[in-house]
Chains A and B, each alone.
Chain A
Amino acid sequence: MDFILEPWPWYVAGPLITLIMFLLFYFGKKFGVSSNLETICALGGAGKFVDFFKFDWRANGWNLMFILGTVIGGFVAFQWLTPIETIAINPQTVQDLTNIGFQNAGAQYLPDEIFSIESMFTLKGFLILLIGGVLVGFGSRYAGGCTSGHAIVGLSNLELPSLISVIGFFIGGLIMIWVLFPILF
């Protein structure tokens, strides 16, 4: 059973993600996480402000169950399946991060510089998390999908819109990491 407790290599994770996609389509649904953000907005009464959200969120109840499951899955993996928290990132990545002020890169899943309680209550830390979230939410619905809907389902189905979107994901990510990060940190 040790292999479950070790970090899972890409060739295990990738096919398992495809299995998730398979199961969702097999049960008559689809694989798209970001549309849950719309459903939660509708559930929260956003229809009062923007007409789009007047749809019946109950129709997407299955996807809310899925997303609730991911929360539980994150808890289960953290509590019982991850005895070692270190991430074996490239030593060059550690060096690059040290150079811009990130301490102990890879010692745990997330950097304290962005995700610690102390950081989230600083103005800069708060804005990074909030604006990062806004960009992800806005961009995913503008493009009509996120990593699941475009990078996994769309590319698997050989759809040109998804290829364009994934190229966009990379343009945005590369600008952030190579251009904006050295300014932000």
Chain B
Amino acid sequence: MKNIKFLFIGILFGIILSKAEVISWYRIYEMFKFQSFHMYGVIGSAVVLGIIIMYLFNKGLVKSYLGKQIEIEPKKKGFSRNILGGIVFGLGWGLIGACPGPMFILLGRGVYAIIIAIVGGLLGVLLYHAIKSKLPH
């Protein structure tokens, strides 16, 4: 089971987002109301440190566990897909206060209602790939 380490990394991620209240609907609502620094601090500090990590990866100063260069797959370009996809995502994020990670973490908390949102998420992904040829990218 060479994948077992990813189970443990996932457990750690679930605990971090739970303990930092990132999975709380209220924290997301508060963020979009600009009434708390908390979420901006979480994402902001992750990104500031992340910029340093990515620099080390891209310069080859930190290699993978196999000693290989770590490649960061570039994101797909295109203004329409990023802005429109982003807006659709944001509408959902604001409404249910959970992005994909927290959805699964809330499932572990025993929040049965989130199952409906996860099913919705799967349907949304299915729908996107069914109609994507008709959408602007």
Contacts and interface: CB of A to CB of B under 8 A. Distances in A.
A167 B81 CA distance: 12
A6 B49 CA distance: 24
Interface in A50-100: 50, 52-53, 61-63, 65-78, 81-82, 87, 89-90, 92-93, 96-97
A140 B3 contact: no
Given A13-B16, A74-B14, A115-B113, A168 B83 contact: yes
B54 A111 contact: no
Contacts of A151: 43, 47
A15 B43 CA distance: 9
Nearest to B23: A109
Interface residues of B, number: 116
A69 B132 CA distance: 31
A135 B92 CA distance: 5
A125 B135 CA distance: 29
Contact of B95 (A13, A117, A128, A138): A128
Interface string A94-120: 001100000001100111001111011
Nearest to A175: B91
Interface string B76-120: 111101111111111111111111110111111111111011111
A111 B13 CA distance: 23
Contacts of A110: 24-26, 97, 106, 111
A109 B97 CA distance: 11
B46 A14 contact: yes
B12 interface: yes
A23 B94 CA distance: 29
A142 B46 contact: no
B108 to A, nearest CB: 3
A33 B100 contact: yes
Contacts of B117: 129-130, 132-133, 136
Interface of A: 4, 7-18, 20-30, 33-34, 36-38, 40-41, 44, 46, 49-50, 52-53, 61-63, 65-78, 81-82, 87, 89-90, 92-93, 96-97, 105-106, 109-111, 114-117, 119-120, 125-126, 128-162, 164-178, 180-181
21 contacts: A20-B16, A65-B7, A67-B10, A69-B6, A70-B17, A81-B19, A87-B24, A129-B116, A137-B125, A152-B50, A156-B54, A158-B54, A168-B82, A169-B89, A169-B90, A173-B32, A173-B94, A174-B90, A176-B90, A176-B94, A177-B33
